[in-house]
Amino acid sequence: MKFFIDTADLAEIRALANSGLLDGVTTNPSLIAKSGRDFKEVIKEICAVVPGPVSAEVAGTEYDQIMAEANVLRKIADNVCIKVPLTPDGLRACRHLSDDGTLVNVTLCFSPAQALLAAKSKAAFISPFVGRLDDIGWDGMQLIADIVEIYENYGFRTEVLVASVRNPVHVIEAAKMGAHVATLPPSVLRMLFNHPLTDKGLAAFLADWAKTGQTII
């Protein structure tokens, strides 16, 4: 499974990129707004730090506006991935951008039917939002299972990018189902390291080593 992080915080992105665990980044207008900086400059800086796909979301909702904004964004860097909404105009733009060799991430997916349409529109990524479905009493992880099954049935190349991830359980369940990517808040990615037995074991090892009075260097 690939790990993307869902943030526009350059400090967080640099720290996780240096760990070697980061495969890409997803952003959206809300995340960029939190930075208080120019949208295109932030995307450019992120693309320079992360060699993998960096999702930059259009603000337009009509086809012509989506295409005009996408043409600006994809010139920022070779690894920009255009993020479009799962609407008729968004999928029309997705098809044309994909045919032109541009990676497209179709976002705000909440049903298997929508995911099927995105795959037929040649999306590079489909972003189902598991946490938001959980919030309204639906089973977000069942959506992931359904999409993975449908895509495998027909050999679609669209990668399932699990979004709105709230906890490590979402990540592990998605990985077991065969989802290709999870995009995580930095805090959730760091949670994957945690286990009390790891902490306890390390503390015991260090205590035993201190008793020897030795040093390695």
83 among known catalytic residues: yes
Question: What one-character-per-residue DSSP string does 152-184 give?
Answer: HHHT---EEEEBS--SHHHHHHHHHHT-SEEEE
Q: Which residues of 142-181 are buried (b: 16+ CB within 10 A; e: fewer)?
A: ebbbbbbebbeeeebebbbbbbbbbebebbebbeebebbb
| Angstrom distance (rounded) from CA 12 to CA 42 | 13
Indicate which residue of 2, 34, 40, 83 is catalytic. Answer: 83
Which residues are annotated as catalytic? 83
